[in-house]
């Protein structure tokens, strides 16, 4: 079974997907970390982050795997290096490159073979797993999303800087030529602005229970 979650930056998809995976015993597949690995790989290899052709060339044959629930790049655990401000600053631009999206989509589908998964990202319900049994689109106001990201304490940016960063990220994500952020026709829309993580999880779990017994 594939449970697919889409939504904009800072909406809490990762937290919710991880919680759902834990409660169901499904495998948690974070698509954003695959794109972050591509960006990290380029930055650490000294590739010009403004050169799409160089990013594509550097990503050909890239080996991204999940081992022990953590992202590994060419055999090395890079999980703790994926959420730096520098990676944050470039991942949206790199994930908008059509060839990069094809590379990551193939890696995601390979990872999901023969597994019950919870997958989240920007185009999971529309491109990566269009035949997923359950699809959700999670949303929240930009102010709420910036506050959540600020309160996480993982960024050196101020609240206002995060607000502008997320606003720019939304603009890029919604206008990608391929894999843009949009609500799939058969996705369940959830506005999480005024909901706790537990409340969102319960709404998702209720839908899973309707489809599959044992949860």
| DSSP structure class, residue 119 | E
Average pLDDT over residues 24-32: 91
In the chain, count H helices and then E strands: 8, 8
Indicate whether 104 belongs to any domain.
yes
Q: What is the 3-state secondary structure (H, E, C) of 68-97?
A: CCEEEECCEECHHHCCCHHHHHHHHHHHCC
Indicate whether 25 belongs to any domain.
yes
Closest CA to 143 of 125, 113, 170: 170
CA-CA distance, 99 to 128, in Å (whole number)?
A: 14
Indicate whether 160 belongs to any domain.
yes
Indicate whether 214 belongs to any domain.
no
Bridge-partner residues for 121, per DSSP?
Answer: 6
Average pLDDT over residues 201-211: 93
Indicate whether 213 belongs to any domain.
no
Indicate whether 141 belongs to any domain.
yes
Rounded percentage of the chain residues whose pLDDT exceeds 70: 99
- The CATH number of whichever domain residue 152 belongs to comes to 3.40.50.300
The pLDDT of residue 49 is 97
Contact at 8 Å (CB) between 100 and 35? Answer: yes
Average pLDDT over residues 1-20: 93
- Domain total in the chain: 1
**Extended strands (E) in 96-149:** 117-121, 134-139
The C-alpha angle with vertex 6 and arms to 158 and 143, in degrees rounded to 5, equals 30
The CA dihedral of 40, 110, 30, 64, to the nearest 10 degrees, is -20
Indicate whether 136 belongs to any domain.
yes
- pTM of this structure: 0.80
Residue pLDDT, tens place only, 127-167: 999 999 999 999 999 999 999 989 888 788 999 999 999 99
CA-CA distance, 114 to 21, in Å (whole number)?
A: 16
Locate 47 and state its tokens.
């590739």
CA-CA distance, 154 to 135, in Å (whole number)?
A: 29
Range of the domain at 57: 2-207
Indicate whether 198 belongs to any domain.
yes
């Amino acid at each position: 079974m594939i449970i697919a979650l889409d939504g904009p930056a800072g909406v809490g998809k990762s937290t919710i997907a991880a919680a759902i995976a834990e409660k169901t015993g499904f495998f948690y597949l974070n698509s954003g970390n695959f794109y972050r690995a591509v960006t990290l790989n380029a930055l650490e290899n000294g590739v010009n982050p403004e050169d799409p052709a160089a990013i594509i060339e550097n990503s050909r044959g890239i080996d991204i795997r999940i081992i022990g629930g953590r992202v590994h790049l060419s055999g090395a655990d890079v999980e703790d290096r994926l959420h730096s401000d520098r990676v944050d600053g470039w991942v949206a631009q790199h994930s908008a490159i059509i060839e990069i999206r094809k590379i990551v989509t193939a890696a995601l589908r390979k990872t999901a073979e023969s597994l019950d998964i919870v997958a989240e990202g920007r185009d999971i319900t529309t491109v990566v797993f269009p035949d997923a049994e359950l699809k959700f689109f999670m949303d929240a106001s930009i102010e709420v999303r910036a506050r959540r990201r600020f309160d996480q304490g993982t960024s050196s940016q101020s609240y206002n800087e995060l607000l502008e960063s997320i606003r720019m990220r939304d603009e890029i994500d919604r206008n990608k030529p391929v894999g843009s952020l949009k609500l799939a026709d058969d996705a369940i829309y959830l506005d999480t602005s005024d909901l706790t993580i537990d409340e969102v999880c319960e709404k998702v779990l209720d839908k899973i229970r309707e489809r599959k017994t044992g949860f």
